[in-house]
Copies of this chain bind each other. A is one copy, B any other.
Amino acid sequence: MLYITKRVHFSASHRLFNPTFNDQKNDEIYDKCNNFYGHGHNYILEVTVRGIPNPQTGYVIDLKKLKRILNDTIVDKVDHKHLNFDVDFLKGVITSVENLAVIFWKILKEEIKEAELYKIKLYETENSYVEYFGEPVEVNRF
């Protein structure tokens, strides 16, 4: 097996809060990430697929096609958006980097057919990132 990764970027704003918590609890848990008007990041999304290289092409997957899938199904929907308000597939979701990774996985799992989706790595800042390998995780919608 070989593991091949494509990296894309998007810039978005978000606000962390749970509508079933009161203000004090939201503040305690999310602190400055709970700022009412939101804040934002330059996110970096790395998507890894795995497979055997096709002996005729040397490719596990055509990275141009993978990039197109990432742009069409994720980047174009979230880039220069507010993740809490502007994105259909995030409606009602707490937009933590963990939940984003799980939701992105579900979307990409449907779209990537040429090779097996293996990992999503999502950087919120250069000092904080999450990795997800598709084990079932439930994301609440409020």
**Chain A residues at the B interface, C-beta cutoff of 8 Å:** 1-9, 11-14, 16, 18, 20-21, 29, 31-33, 35, 37-42, 48, 52-53, 55-60, 62-64, 79-82, 84-86, 93-99, 101-102, 125-133, 135, 137-140
A98 touches B133 (CB 8 A): no
B56 touches A129 (CB 8 A): no
Known A4-B131, A41-B41, A42-B126; 19 more pairs at CB < 8 Å: A1-B133, A1-B135, A3-B131, A4-B98, A4-B129, A5-B131, A6-B128, A11-B39, A13-B37, A31-B64, A39-B82, A40-B41, A40-B42, A42-B42, A53-B139, A55-B139, A57-B94, A58-B94, A58-B96
